[in-house]
Structure 1
Amino acid sequence: MGISLPELFLYLTVMKFHFLLIALCCCTGLKAQQAKPNVLFIFVDDLRPDLGCYGDTTVKSPHLDSLARKGVVFKKQFVTVPTCGASRMSILTGKLPHKRSDLTNEAAESMVRTEMPETFIEQLKRNGYYTVGIGKVSHSADGYVYPYNKEKSNQLELPNSWNEMLFDPGKWKTGWNAFFAYADGTDRNTKKNDVPPYEAAPVEDNGYPDGLTAELAVKQIEKLADKGQPFFLGVGFFKPHLPFTAPQKYWDLYNENDIALTPSPDMPANINKASLHESAEFNQYKLGDEKASLQKPVSDAYARKLKHGYYASVSYVDAQIGKVLTALREKGLDKNTIIIVWGDHGWHLGDDRVWGKHTIFDWSLRSPFILKTPRQQKGFNPEQVVSSVDIYPTIMELCGIKMPYKGDGESLLKAKRNTAYSYFKQGITVRTDRYRLTQYYRNAKPDIELYDHKTDPWENRNIAAEQPKLVKELQVILERGNTGVYQTPKTPTTDQPDN
């Protein structure tokens, strides 16, 4: 049997419409996929909020300040653990520490053993994102698990999170050597600590590893721009972590004599020195000019030199971040990319006579958190007290992805808690808008500390004994953050130093 011309015409018309409908659906699906916001997350090691956008008038940080003007600067963001690996695992999983191993730098290695919840990077990957990591995102300097003084392994620290994990160690050959690098190709590891804690060298930006990381990130942005797929790009910079090493031009930005000394030169009043530490990480740099201790502060001249090195390192990493942000903008990707810059914890720069992190004072727990969304986002409160565990659910909401489990944080688009819990040194501390209350689980007394940030913003005086009623009220809030990580004052300390 034949087919008539009208029937053939009708058939072809229907088929044409069918194919147009399929094409339209495919295009719509592709556009929907491309409409998902990309995520650029920049992790910065040991960066405290000494930046222009946080009100610091000394530090030169033009690129971060420019980003801050376009986004949200969370002024009261506190990390959960003041050591690198544990702090990063807490932010990656959205979980507070619940056991003693969660307080150590080896916390990240538990991801290999699948003992930890899924990271927000893994969730993005599961939901169609192409995930790329560069440098120190979790704890390892290059994303692989191996000791400081050994050859690089093939074991990823976050095995389920990455499509690609990249790093350029340059002349230092391994990630951990690069982490402790000096401009001549040596490092703290191979020099067995016979090195100074600072260096200014007449080199270009790629004369130190963070310059190589910036170059690698720029190349990846160029590739990701052509991929046609939403992406997560995590970039981990080393500076200003010890040693304070940066090209000479960044040291030249500062007049050392103009650098102010700490407003907290002595230990806080009415505390036990067990709340602080003897700056072991800093003192292992054997060629330092002076040793730090709780017995007396370092000289004013040396304190200024060290702060000079820290500030130069901050300006150096700010310039590298600027290169990454410029590449994103030049590719037009900034229009649909969530940008986050986060410091993994603070650092005592001679404050309370300490040089380093590893305390549960504001100096060590408060760090920068800058967030820029593609479109103006209502609901954020930059003055609110927030915790780093809030970042996971915030990313999920901004990307339209459901949380895979109930974490310990809340999306900052609707956060109401206004508190932040932190853990270390046998202690649990809670930061409210006005107060910090700390409970230590130890035999050394006093084991309770209370600081009023309205009258004492630098936490120079413990007033717990003077305010028993207020302590009792705040202990109710503190107990909500008691995850069982510390249970008895007779439990020996197992917190590990971050090197």
Structure 2
Amino acid sequence: MGIPIDIVQGTSGSDHTASWQEAHNITALETMTPGKLADYTHPDAAEHYPAERTKWAAAHRARIPYKMHPSIRGDYAVLEVADKDTGLLADTMAVDKALALLKGRQGKAKPFFLAVGLVRPHFPFVATEGSLEPYDARRMAYPDFPKDDHADMPSGSKGRMMDLKKSAVREVRRGYYGAVTYMDEQFGRLMSGLDHLKLRGNTIVVFVSDHGYLLGEHQMWKKGVLWNEAIHVPLIISAPGKKQDARTHHIVELIDLYPTLAELAGLPPEPKAQGQSLVPLLNNPVAQLDRQDAMTTVSRGHGLRSGKWAFMWYTASKRFKTEGFMLYDMEKDPKQFTNLADDPKFAGVKAKLHRRLRTRVESMQ
């Protein structure tokens, strides 16, 4: 399995749990990774991608340059690409490569693992004429927030700020919707290919993103902070014999994917891997897991979702001299406008969540 470069460059914990590639590629002798997930540029990448266990001798040989897009200036630009040039876009190339690999799987009994990395939607927003056409910038919703929105925010919580005219904000948001639509079309091509090749009935499919996006909410953009828009991600799992068109409201984490895929594939669990299998939820969306919270970590601090509460702990650093706390009732305040962290009425809730979050952070050391 390809590993995004920011994960490769991270620090392994003391248990150093084996990656999916190292643990299971003996079973799945063909492991393939077209698209963004195969962006291998780290000097130690080879140790995470054992050449003797894979069809491809080295990850870089399979790499599609995910940063390949028409030359563009400005981090917040929207680029419209002619429909006839769709084949030049990285996500189109990634799906083309994936479909070619899947075609080679027809009639083969051996298992395979295919990770397809789609870069859109991501700044800059690149989309085709057809995917942008349904969206009128003049009708795009403008993010609402109170005038004093920043008054109760610690400094570390403030993401990338951008002072744009309302018309420009709407145009950028239009670009986001167009990029999502383009990506959705490519994912649809991949699913149609599975159906056409008669592989869907025996294939586990996971659709997931690594982060969300701020699109002007709180006057902020992009990611790297703990606001709900920046950390909430889509997660869709399709597996043979499991419920279809069902939705669960249970709190889960992305680390749950490792044990989930292992159980679905009938593979032995990795003893030191964190996370819980989500198979009970795939069988019954209202099942209860042994988890009451979900943690998120960014460079500035850590966040915890527990029940109706969203708690954020921004740690002190050279840039932000003092730590800061934020507490939101997501049932009454889903847009996170009223920080309750300094309200004496919620001191007990804050203390409890802080203790729990600190315990979880320390467990990663």
Structure 1 pair 134/158, CA: closer, same or farther in 2 (3 Å)?
farther
The question of 1:364 aligning with 2:230 is answered yes
Structure 1 unaligned residues grouped into runs of 5+: 1-40, 44-87, 90-104, 147-152, 170-174, 280-291, 487-499
Structure 1 pair 447/462, CA: closer, same or farther in 2 (3 Å)?
same
Letter in 1 for 2:357: L
Equivalents in 2 of 1:391, 1:115: separation in Å?
A: 19
The question of 1:228 aligning with 2:109 is answered yes
Structure 1 pair 474/109, CA: closer, same or farther in 2 (3 Å)?
closer
- Displacement, 1:453? 0.2
Q: Among residues 237, 254, 261, which one is paired with 1:388 in the alignment?
A: 254
- Displacement, 1:125? 1.1
Give the 3-state SS of the residue equivalent to 2:117 in structure 1: strand
- Displacement, 1:445? 5.5
Corresponding residue for residue 273 of structure 2: 407
Equivalents in 1 of 2:153, 2:178: separation in Å?
A: 33
Structure 1 pair 431/124, CA: closer, same or farther in 2 (3 Å)?
same
Q: Identity of counterpart residues, as a percentage?
A: 22
- Displacement, 1:413? 2.8
Corresponding residue for residue 330 of structure 2: 453
Structure 1 pair 155/202, CA: closer, same or farther in 2 (3 Å)?
same
Equivalents in 2 of 1:326, 1:154: separation in Å?
A: 36
Corresponding residue for residue 475 of structure 1: 354
User: Bigger shift: 127-136 or 454-463?
Assistant: 127-136
| TM-score with structure 1 setting the length | 0.63
The question of 1:136 aligning with 2:36 is answered yes
Give the 3-state SS of the residue equivalent to 1:370 in structure 2: strand
Corresponding residue for residue 145 of structure 1: 41
Instruction: Kindly indicate whether the alpha-carbon contact (under 8 Å) linking 1:135 and 1:236 is maintained by their aligned counterparts in 2.
Output: yes
Equivalents in 1 of 2:133, 2:247: separation in Å?
A: 37
- Displacement, 1:261? 1.4
Instruction: Kindly indicate whether the alpha-carbon contact (under 8 Å) linking 1:132 and 1:232 is maintained by their aligned counterparts in 2.
Output: yes
Equivalents in 2 of 1:455, 1:126: separation in Å?
A: 50
Give the 3-state SS of the residue equivalent to 1:400 in structure 2: coil
Q: Among residues 204, 215, 221, which one is paired with 1:355 in the alignment?
A: 221
Instruction: Kindly indicate whether the alpha-carbon contact (under 8 Å) linking 2:35 and 2:90 is maintained by their aligned counterparts in 1.
Output: no
Count, aligned residues: 343
Instruction: Kindly indicate whether the alpha-carbon contact (under 8 Å) linking 1:429 and 1:439 is maintained by their aligned counterparts in 2.
Output: yes
Letter in 2 for 1:318: D
Letter in 2 for 1:384: H
- Displacement, 1:476? 3.2
Give the 3-state SS of the residue equivalent to 2:83 in structure 1: coil
* Larger Rg computed on CA atoms: 1
The question of 1:416 aligning with 2:290 is answered yes
Equivalents in 1 of 2:95, 2:259: separation in Å?
A: 28
- Displacement, 1:109? 4.0
Instruction: Kindly indicate whether the alpha-carbon contact (under 8 Å) linking 2:21 and 2:49 is maintained by their aligned counterparts in 1.
Output: no
Equivalents in 1 of 2:154, 2:137: separation in Å?
A: 33
Give the 3-state SS of the residue equivalent to 1:383 in structure 2: coil
- Displacement, 1:234? 0.7
Instruction: Kindly indicate whether the alpha-carbon contact (under 8 Å) linking 2:40 and 2:63 is maintained by their aligned counterparts in 1.
Output: no
Letter in 2 for 1:426: R
Instruction: Kindly indicate whether the alpha-carbon contact (under 8 Å) linking 1:272 and 1:444 is maintained by their aligned counterparts in 2.
Output: no
Q: Greater RCO between the two (CA within 8 Å, min separation 6)? A: 1
Equivalents in 1 of 2:165, 2:124: separation in Å?
A: 19
The question of 1:159 aligning with 2:40 is answered no
Structure 1 residue ranges, 4+ long, deviating more than 6 angstroms after superposition: none
Corresponding residue for residue 299 of structure 1: 165
Structure 2 unaligned residues grouped into runs of 5+: 281-288
CA RMSD, Structure 1 to Structure 2 (Å) = 3.0
The question of 1:127 aligning with 2:34 is answered no
Q: Among residues 336, 339, 353, which one is paired with 1:462 in the alignment?
A: 339
| TM-score with structure 2 setting the length | 0.84
- Displacement, 1:326? 0.5
Instruction: Kindly indicate whether the alpha-carbon contact (under 8 Å) linking 2:22 and 2:49 is maintained by their aligned counterparts in 1.
Output: no
Cα offsets for 1:5-42 (capped at 9, x unmatched)? xxxxxxxxxxxxxxxxxxxxxxxxxxxxxxxxxxxx9x
Letter in 2 for 1:422: T
